[in-house]
Structure 1
Amino acid sequence: MNGDLERRLRADLHRFTRSEREIATYMLANLQDLPFETAATIAARVGVSQMTVSRFMRTLGYSGIGELKEELRESSLNPSLLLTDRAEHLKKRGPAGRDLHASLQLEIRALVAVYELVGTPLWQRVVETLCDSDAVFVAGFQTLGGIAADFAARLQYLRPEVGVLDGADGTFAALFGGKADAPALVLFEMRRYTRLSQLLAEQASRAGVRLIVICDRHCHWAHAHTEDVLAVNTESRLFWDSQSPFVSLSNLLFEDIAQRLGERATDRIGRLTALQQNFGAFLD
């Protein structure tokens, strides 16, 4: 059963060897896909041998991965494991559970709406701007500063000349006084809107900077400065509005940017990966 397997893996993580722990971690993150995996695909994704995967299956009490897959396929037919039913179970937790259920429904609808943006003329225009501009600057203030920094960090894996603007210099000189002839600005914004965001958007519009605003659906001033406005639904029953749609939209943009850049993105990722190895950026 999915639930039983998950509990067993989590309970025994600290007892596993390093290789076993890496396999278990992969399995926990991909439980729904395991019925379609093989020892070879798991081994390739985790970076271990097929023999190691097979031995781990026996450690878990299975004769092989085939037995595990059969068990998972049978359990997936159980209606209690359907997403809709699992969501309905939240309501049984009382008032707090009902709020969680309502918030989950809002978030699901918001994510579906994000996916529906993909391939639209607006979407294609934004992807082209992010690929073809001489430089791309990203800004987000207050609670969106982290989202903006993450967007810039991941975009620079795909293309050069990407920077974060925080306004600390008081002039945004990197954008308005830099060397790029045709820069672009990506501005993240959601309620409560900052004065700095609006001033930056106004100045970018006047300076002829290609402006992309990624914002919530209440951002009434964005369209006054650009036609490239990607608006997402951030409504939530939680204390804070949801930022999940911003992250999902970013992921989808990066996918299309990578596809459009093709070998340029692949080559750049390869060079940066080699640098990471040289500087020991990650644990093996």
Structure 2
Amino acid sequence: MASGQQERAQAAAITPGGQPVDVERAPADRVRGLFDGRRLSPGQRRIAQYLIDHLTEAAFLSITELAERVGVSQPSVTRFATSLGFSGYPALRDALQPLALKAVAGAPEGDENRRNELQAAVDAEIENLENVRRLLADTDRVLDIGRDLARSVPLTVLGLRISVSLAEYFAYAARRIHPDVRLVTRGGSVAYDALLQSRAAGGTWVLAFAMPRHAKETLAAMRAARSAGLRIALITDLTLGPLVDEADVALTAGTGSRLVFDSYAAPGVLAAALLQAMADADPERTQARLEGYEQVAEQHNFFL
């Protein structure tokens, strides 16, 4: 950031992109505004949270002191500042200091900030769920996808790295209503082999989950699926990009990014809605499989 822009940031509390920040907002809220819309790594979120929670002190720390307080390396702090659009940590600190001085002049916020940050994370997830609600207004689209997945025998479910948990949930439930669900949670040649086998067995579709941080091996697996002749349905937080380009159909559900690690309320609800669409696509098969499973569960005393 040029020195003149730094001065304007000090005077008016602007973002590095030049957008003014509401001067009536609390200082901690204005600091949060610097991070909104940014895709930060877990380590970078720790730095951001430290700056929010300790603004009046952190804004005057050297890069060495801040790195030690947060428990990260100095290059990590530099990368964090540049990811926000600043030329480096000194420019970020220059933008934070007038906010810190305003916080000192006002009422202490410390513990309240921490409580409100957790509530803000929930509020962000509520907004993500509202977006899914709007997406599901087009019931025909979701039902069509569910019908295609239900007809694919076998059906392959792909989820790598952080997306494994969503893929496992979907596959676990789908096996109750679908005769052959194959879960792929490892990339590379293992994924390629599983996809080739699925296609050779008569499968036509793959359902892929791709959540941040988006793995290159997910894109490679999707391309392998396409080269094998499989079609791809994708659940992701993205609306554009190579993952979406590779999919035949993409359903978008935002992830909660206010905490150190993402939360997945919206993708989870979207996955459950797609399971419902699969169940509705073949109600007789669904009913028969669910009743059969309940008989087995009762016979073997699976549950309390």
Whether TM exceeds 0.5 here: the answer is yes
**2-structure distance, mates of 1:102, 1:242:** 13
Q: CA deviation at 1:196?
A: 1.4
Q: 3-state SS of the aligned residue for 1:223?
A: helix
Q: TM-score, normalised by structure 1?
A: 0.62
Letter in structure 2 aligned against 1:97: R
Q: CA deviation at 1:183?
A: 2.8
Q: Is the 8 A contact 1:137 1:175 kept in 2?
A: yes
1:108-140 CA distance string (max 9 Å, x none): 111121122225254233212211112111121
2:217 maps to which residue? 196
Q: 1:109 aligns with which of 127, 138, 144?
A: 127
1:269 maps to which residue? 290
Runs of 4+ that moved beyond 3 A: none
2:267 maps to which residue? 246
Cα distance 1:218–1:149, how it changes in 2: closer, same or farther (>3 A)? same
Q: CA deviation at 1:170?
A: 2.4
2:250 maps to which residue? 229
1:205 maps to which residue? 226
Q: 2:177 aligns with which of 155, 158, 182?
A: 158
Cα distance 1:219–1:149, how it changes in 2: closer, same or farther (>3 A)? farther
Letter in structure 2 aligned against 1:154: A
Q: Which runs of 5+ in 1 are unaligned?
A: 1-90
Letter in structure 1 aligned against 2:195: L
Q: CA deviation at 1:166?
A: 2.4
Q: How many residues align?
A: 193
Q: 3-state SS of the aligned residue for 1:208?
A: coil
Cα distance 1:195–1:228, how it changes in 2: closer, same or farther (>3 A)? same
**2-structure distance, mates of 1:219, 1:96:** 33
Letter in structure 1 aligned against 2:241: H
If asked which structure has higher relative contact order (CA below 8 Å, sep 6+), I would say 2
**2-structure distance, mates of 1:183, 1:93:** 53
Q: CA deviation at 1:174?
A: 3.1
Cα distance 1:173–1:131, how it changes in 2: closer, same or farther (>3 A)? same
**1-structure distance, mates of 2:110, 2:141:** 42
**2-structure distance, mates of 1:188, 1:124:** 18
**1-structure distance, mates of 2:269, 2:191:** 31
1:15-45 CA distance string (max 9 Å, x none): xxxxxxxxxxxxxxxxxxxxxxxxxxxxxxx
Cα distance 1:257–1:171, how it changes in 2: closer, same or farther (>3 A)? closer
Deviates more, 1:95-104 or 1:268-277: 95-104
1:136 maps to which residue? 155
**2-structure distance, mates of 1:256, 1:264:** 13
Q: CA deviation at 1:232?
A: 1.0
Letter in structure 2 aligned against 1:174: A
Q: 3-state SS of the aligned residue for 1:97?
A: helix
Q: 3-state SS of the aligned residue for 2:175?
A: helix
2:302 maps to which residue? 281
**2-structure distance, mates of 1:235, 1:117:** 17
* Aligned residues: CA RMSD: 2.2
2:102 maps to which residue? none
Q: Which runs of 5+ in 2 are unaligned?
A: 1-108
Q: Is the 8 A contact 2:152 2:203 kept in 1?
A: yes
Q: Is the 8 A contact 2:195 2:228 kept in 1?
A: no
Q: Is the 8 A contact 1:158 1:268 kept in 2?
A: yes
Letter in structure 1 aligned against 2:300: F
**1-structure distance, mates of 2:284, 2:137:** 21
Q: What percent of counterpart residues are identical?
A: 22
Q: CA deviation at 1:218?
A: 6.3
